[in-house]
């Protein structure tokens, strides 16, 4: 459990203007996160645009990040798929590249029943002996893990926690009942970090941390140090910015925000494209909090 604690950034994948992966920028981002207190890196997730990267690119990205970080903080790779065999293939590859753990999303589109979901995750866990963080995000996948399934999966030795992104504090409270020293819950929503922590959560997998790594780390650290008021104030101070980072589908706004801050992470791969001008104006307005 101790590995999945604090602020983990859901890292963007930077691209060159021609759409190829910008590995030098990727290394720069990794070093910046280590220097600014980020507790762990989650690569090749939704924010990393893994739905449009090729398997060979995935392996190259993982090797780049693992080599750059050099064990200073944990590296978690998104090994999920709606095909169990594909998830196994990716997870084995990432294990061999030296990652510290895996993030496995629910099998989207297929929308398996709970027995199928259990067998999907259990199969990967049995064959790839790395710490695993389940990922429940029904707004994107069209399916959700049931509480019974989460509880059953939590009993598998190397399934160590869940990134809970249902957006429901009621559901998260029920998930908290199955958490223990061997199974933790991390917030998958930046607007719910403090609420999840208040239920015993261990941290956040954060999109916002791409822009504000020190702030997200400090929010989590304040909570764990017992300074609830500081954590609460930070959550509320940045709430408008957090909301603006999801005014369009992730990772469009976060990449736009990073580029506006001169971080030069590039654009997107279709079908993702640049923001609507009206939404970009709202994002720019919300980013004024960074100057306060």
Say if 92 falls within a structural domain. yes
Whole-number pLDDT of residue 245:
98
In the chain, how many domains are there?
A: 1
Catalytic site includes residue 135:
yes
Q: How many CB atoms are closer than 10 A to CB 105? A: 23
Going by C-alpha positions, the residue among 119, 134, 34, 41 that lies closest to residue 79 is 134
Q: What is the pTM of this model?
A: 0.95
pLDDT for the residue 30: 98
Instruction: Select which of 8, 118, 135, 238 is catalytic.
Output: 135
Question: Which pLDDT score is estimated for 2?
Answer: 66
Residues of the chain short of pLDDT 70, as ranges, are 1-2
The per-residue DSSP string of 219-247 comes to HHHHHHTT-HHHHHHHHHHTHHHHHHTTS
Rounded to whole angstroms, what are the CA distances from 96 to 74, 89, 192?
A: 15, 11, 34
User: Would you say residue 84 lies in a domain?
Assistant: yes
Active site (annotated) includes residue 288: no
Distance CA 84, CA 77 (A): 16
- Cite the beta strand spans of the chain per DSSP E: 6-10, 40-43, 75-78, 101-105, 132-136, 159-164, 184-187, 203-206
Catalytic residue among 25, 160, 163, 280: 163
161-215: per-residue pLDDT in tens? Answer: 999 999 999 999 999 999 888 999 999 999 999 999 999 999 999 999 999 999 9
* Dihedral sign of CA atoms 68, 70, 72, 76 in order: positive
Give a yes or no: residue 81 inside a domain. Answer: yes
pLDDT of 1 reads 47
In a domain, 62, yes or no: yes
Question: CATH number, domain at 48?
Answer: 3.20.20.70
């Amino acid at each position: 459990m101790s590995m999945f604690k604090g602020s983990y950034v859901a890292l963007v994948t930077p691209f060159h203007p021609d759409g190829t992966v910008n590995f030098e920028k990727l290394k720069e981002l990794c070093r910046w996160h280590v220097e600014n207190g980020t507790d762990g890196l989650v690569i090749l997730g939704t924010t990393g645009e893994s739905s449009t990267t090729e398997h060979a690119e995935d392996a190259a990205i993982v090797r780049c990040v693992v080599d750059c970080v050099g064990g200073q903080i944990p590296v978690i790779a998104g090994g999920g798929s709606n095909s169990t065999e594909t998830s196994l293939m990716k997870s084995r590859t990432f294990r061999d590249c030296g990652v510290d753990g895996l993030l496995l999303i629910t099998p989207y589109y297929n929308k398996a029943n709970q027995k199928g979901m259990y067998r999907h995750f259990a199969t990967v866990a049995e064959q790839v002996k790395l710490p695993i963080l389940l990922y429940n995000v029904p707004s994107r996948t069209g399916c959700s893990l049931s509480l019974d399934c989460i509880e059953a999966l939590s009993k598998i030795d190397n399934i160590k926690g869940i990134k809970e992104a249902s957006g429901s504090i009621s559901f998260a409270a029920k998930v908290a009942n199955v958490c223990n020293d061997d199974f933790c819950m991390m917030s998958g929503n930046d607007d719910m970090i403090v609420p999840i922590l208040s239920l015993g959560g261990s941290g956040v997998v954060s999109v916002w941390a791409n822009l504000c790594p020190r702030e997200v780390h400090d929010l989590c650290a304040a909570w764990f140090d017992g300074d609830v008021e500081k954590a609460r104030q930070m959550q509320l101070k940045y709430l408008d910015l957090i909301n603006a980072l999801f005014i369009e589908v992730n990772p469009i706004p976060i990449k736009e925000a990073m580029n506006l801050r001169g971080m030069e992470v590039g654009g997107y791969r279709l079908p993702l494209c640049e923001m609507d001008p009206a939404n970009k104006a709202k994002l720019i307005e919300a980013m004024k909090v960074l100057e306060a």
